[in-house]
Structure 1
Amino acid sequence: MTARARTRTLSVAAATAALAAVTAAAPAHAAAPAHSAPPAALYTPPSDPGAQAQILDLLRHRQLKDAAGVLAMTLTPQAVWFNGGGTPADVQKSVQATVASAARRHALPVLALYNIPGRDCAQYSAGGAADTADYEAWIDAVRAGIGDRPADVILEPDSLALLPSDCGMDDAQGTRTAERYDQIHYAVDALEPLAGTKVYLDAGHSGWHNVNDIVPRLIAGGVGDATGFFLNISNYRSDAELAWYGKLVSSCLSYVSAGGDAAACPNQYWPTADAQNWLDANVTTAPSAMKHFVTDTSRNGQGPWTPPAGVYSAPQDWCNPPGRGTGARPTLATGDPLQDAKLWVKIPGQSDGQCTRGTAGPDDPERGYQDPAAGAWFPQQALELERNADPNPLP
């Protein structure tokens, strides 16, 4: 054997050992227990084929640390997205396969449902069901697929924070926005009563709508009949900022349910001490009786990106921002009585879309090349996320 061959053999062996160590440390694919009990962990679905290809490419180039990092990222519990497409029977079968796979591993699946008519205001992730009847049939299929198995449902990201009325897609009577509220409420009524299902509605994030604006939207969407709401899907706001915003939203929902006016609630722009004094004086509901929330920590380890001042007419700070990192690992033990979980809902490594930041494009001027389409694997960003992770995802 030549020296070069021996070196290559040792490199492959080292890579195998490194990846095996990461795999052994990941809890996601443990054998299913013999008894029936509430899920003890969050579910990890099969990884994106693009991630698998990137890991192999990194191994071929002997970049073992990065290969192990991307692998660790893919072995972290993440949501399973259902974006529409196929017949109701196809949807039911796909959802059923996911919840059954999770049940075999004694794990809780997180299902991100993303098929609302007029999705994403016909922008990067345009699509969705054709109309209300089509959407309701799709939700019925999801319900049948879940059955009596446990599942947490992230119901339609951007559906309430980005209404048809927000993007010029509505008529003067607000018909499409009213339909949107009805569609969301239909889904809540269909899914929340299932034995093991918790449904969370879209509340955007702390850098988008203020509390006084998002609370009426949540109420109109049926949050009163849901477990609660979700924050920061596909975004980058910090954990502390989200926890405070979530507390303010939950408290305002409680205040309104007791007859108060959402306009009177403190929002995230109030001085913290003033807001807390208001909560102490006006909200006496026990946390167990309030609406709870979950947050997406998949890419917020470095917090939000601050675009360079005066450079871009439309910086798109949410769209594949540079230098970000994965955040807190998913957990059902947050230590916050109002926060049910920290989750990885957005799949880290999947592109937000082709970001031009107000330029003629097609290149992303922050990167000097064209970003992949929304949902496609983005190898360069995947490396950024694993290298800049806080906390570091490696054992």
Structure 2
Amino acid sequence: MRVPDLFDRRGASARPDPARRRRGAVAVGASAVAMLTLAAVTQLTGVAAAGSIASGTQFYVYPNSAVMKWDAANPGDSREPAIASQIASQPQGIWFANYNPSTVQSDASAITSAAAAAGKTPVLVMYNIPNRDCGGASTGGAPDTASYKSYVQSFANGLGTHQVIVILEPDSLALQTCLSSSQAADRDAALAFAGQAIHAADPAAKVYMDAGHSSWNSPSAQAAALNAASVKTSADGIFSNVSNFMNTSDEVNYDKQVLSALGNPSNLHIVVDTSRNGNGPAPGNPWCDPSGRALGQPPTANTGDPAVDAYLWVKPPGESDGCADAAGTFDPALAYALIVNGPTRSSSPTPSATSASPSASPSNSPSASASPSQSPSQSPSSSPSASVGSGPCHVTYANSSTWPGGFTASVTINNTGTAPINGWTVTFRYNGDQKVTNAWGATASQSGATVTLTNVSYDGSIAPGGTLTGVGMQGTWTSSNAAPSNFTLNGAACS
């Protein structure tokens, strides 16, 4: 049975807040699926827990995910063994982010039937609420509440009677700043309807509602939002930390405070997204592809805490937040960094001296941060600077997104010489008042207006004629975001 491609290409850039977001899947060939099937299931064992999900539950790995496609297409990449064994083999969220009312029932049925045949439980992420992302980077979803309810009913009808976990509308309750009181009431009613419709159609389904994360709203405020959406009668629990990096212990403590503010209803439990929180949040809590992050607790229902039903990888690791690449793109450099940044790892390749990071295949699920702060522009600006020197030096800097007070930018390095570059340092000078706050694919330092970028372990080599992408930064500005100049590569002027 072919598992359908569920996701659109609606991408997102960023928000300067510790909020987050999205991921997805693209199709792989039948031979690749067959090759990966045996690795596509995580075996989880344990004794029954007091929560809503038995601790021995085995989660389903979606064979059409972006990491599966990359893995099948890049068997010779030195990072492939680590990515295959530590990311592709793990079950991850399957996002219903494309509003396709005519196919959603069959899409859901295909996945739940395939998972049931394998004896596994899929994690499905419903992401189509009207006014999604408050019109920001991941704007979209159903056009109105009536359409949403019809869409959800079709989705529910496709679940069959199989056990599934439904992560219901990330950000829908943590982010409502754009809604009027009547719109908020409509959303609350829509979410209550969704939980009830899913339970009515599939009594084995477990539904979890949005609790944001521990650095966003207060427990009492989040509990009030959940209560307004009838969480006690429409859901089996709450979820937090989707696509963010907060420590698991902080999330569990926060979620328990939310449940306490709800009166500790016995039917509600907790799930936490642990996909990228192995090193906790980056300094300052940047959410958009921050460097230094690591894989977190692998997905399991054997949590050892009766209040916590599962630790899940809701956000697929290695898919960009919209800074390193277009949002939702699977980037092997990001994926590999999550592995090597962890405290322990196996199957750790050493990239060949002449290989550059391969270009990533775009994922089809949107990615966005949700936060109370202003969303940056999703449309890339034109490249503010492209400098080419007389020697083997070609460095291009381009704004990826800008918003009042902030920006993201990418740096591309072309080796136009005849010898490989083994280790690189790029410097340039900002002509505005920009300050770099975060970088990926490089370590960054800034002295006055001068920025220095130095390769990290996995992208220091560029073959002759090769091009290195996946390097970039996020920053702030006050009065001017003027184009930089004075580029050098390993000390050689590029202007």
Structure 2 length-normalised TM:
0.57
**Alignment match, 1:387:** 340
Q: Which residue of 2 aligns with 1:323?
A: 292
Q: Given the alignment of the two structures, is residue 187 of structure 1 paired with residue 194 of structure 2, yes or no?
A: yes
Q: Which residue of 1 aligns with 2:154?
A: 141
- The Cα offsets for residues 148-184 of structure 1, whole Å up to 9 and x where unpaired, read as 1111110000000011xx1xx334xx12111111111
Higher helix share: 1
Matches within 5 A, 1:164-175: 166=177, 169-171=178-180, 174-175=181-182
Pair 1:248 & 2:257 matched = yes
Distance 1:22-1:98 versus aligned 2 partners, 3 A rule: closer
Paired position in structure 2 for 1:205 = 213
More strand per residue = 2
Contact 1:22 1:68 in 2 (8 A): no
2:98 is the counterpart of 1:84: yes
Measured against aligned partners, the alpha-carbon deviations of 1:281-340 in whole angstroms (never above 9, x if no partner) come to xxxxxxxx2520100000101100114xxxxxxxx7111111111100100110001000
- Pick closer, same or farther for the CA change 1:250–1:290 going to 2, 3 Å: farther
Q: Where does residue 48 of structure 1 map in the other structure?
A: 65
Letter in structure 2 aligned against 1:189: Q
* Partner SS state of residue 146, structure 1: coil
Match of 1:176 among 183, 190, 198: 183
Say whether the 8 Å CA contact 1:113–1:153 is kept in structure 2.
yes
Is 1:151 paired with 2:159? Answer: no
How far is 1:25 from its partner? 6.6
Tell me the alpha carbon deviations over residues 191-249 of structure 1, each in whole angstroms, 9 at most, x when there is no partner: 13322111100000111111111000000112111111001000111111111112211
**What is residue 215 of structure 1 aligned with on the other side?**
223
Q: Are 2:232 and 2:267, in contact at CA under 8 Å, matched by a contact in 1?
A: no
Give SS of 1:294's match: strand
Once the two structures are superposed, residues 130-156 of structure 1 have per-residue CA deviations (whole angstroms, 9 ceiling, x without a partner) of 001110111011110002111111000
Q: Distance in 1 between matches of 2:259 and 2:203?
A: 24
* Secondary structure, aligned partner of 1:340: strand
Partner Cα distance (2:151, 2:38) in 1: 38
Query: For this pair of structures, how many residues does the alignment match?
Result: 302
How far apart, in 2, do the equivalents of 1:99 and 1:390 lie? 35
- Structure 2 unaligned regions, length at least 5: 1-34, 45-53, 349-495
1:24 deviates by 6.2
Q: Does 1:127 align with 2:140?
A: yes
Q: Which secondary structure state, in structure 2, belongs to the residue aligned with residue 130 of structure 1?
A: coil
Structure 1 residue 99 corresponds to structure 2 residue 107: no
Q: Distance in 2 between matches of 1:390 and 1:221?
A: 40
- 1:45 and 1:29 map into 2 onto residues whose CA distance is 15
Give the deviation of 1:47 after TM superposition.
4.6
CA displacement at 1:189 relative to structure 2: 1.4
Name the SS for the 1:293 alignment partner.
Answer: strand
Quick one: which of 313, 329, 346 aligns to 1:344? 313
Q: What amino acid is the match of 1:188?
A: G
Percentage identity across paired residues of the two chains: 37
Q: 1:298 to 1:394 in 2, by over 3 A?
A: farther
Task: From the superposition, tell whether residues 235 and 229 of structure 1 become closer, same or farther in structure 2 (CA, over 3 Å).
Answer: same
Cα root mean square deviation, aligned: 2.6
Alpha-carbon separation, structure 2, partners of 1:79 and 1:50:
12
SS in 2 for 1:149: coil
Name the CA distance, whole Å, in 2 between partners of 1:214 and 1:227: 16
2:385 paired residue number: none
Partner SS for 1:177: helix
SS of 1:199's equivalent in the other structure is strand
Q: 1:157 to 1:394 in 2, by over 3 A?
A: farther
Structure 1 position 229 matched with structure 2 position 245: no
Give 1:190 shift: 0.7
| 3-state SS of paired residue (1:95) | helix
Query: What residue is the counterpart of 2:279 in the other structure?
Result: 302
Q: Which runs of 5+ in 1 are unaligned?
A: 1-20, 31-37, 258-288, 308-315, 355-370
TM-superposition CA deviations, 1:319-363 (whole Å, max 9, x none)? 111111110010011000100000000011111123xxxxxxxxx
8 Å CA contact 1:78, 1:344 repeated in 2 = yes
The alpha carbon displacement at 1:383 in A equals: 1.6
Q: Distance in 2 between matches of 1:24 and 1:150?
A: 21
1:188–1:222 contact (8 Å) kept in structure 2: no
Distance 1:245 1:299 in 2: 18
CA distance in 1, matches of 2:291, 2:231: 34
1:378 aligns with 2:331: yes
Residue 87 of structure 1: CA displacement? Answer: 3.0
Shift of 1:391: 5.7
Question: Which string of whole-angstrom CA distances, capped at 9 and with x for unpartnered residues, describes residues 58-86 of structure 1?
Answer: x435x1xx211111201101111101332
2:274–2:313 CA contact under 8 A, matched in 1: yes
CA drift of 1:385 comes to: 1.3
Contact 1:113 1:156 in 2 (8 A): yes
How far apart in 2 are the matches of 1:123 and 1:153? Answer: 24
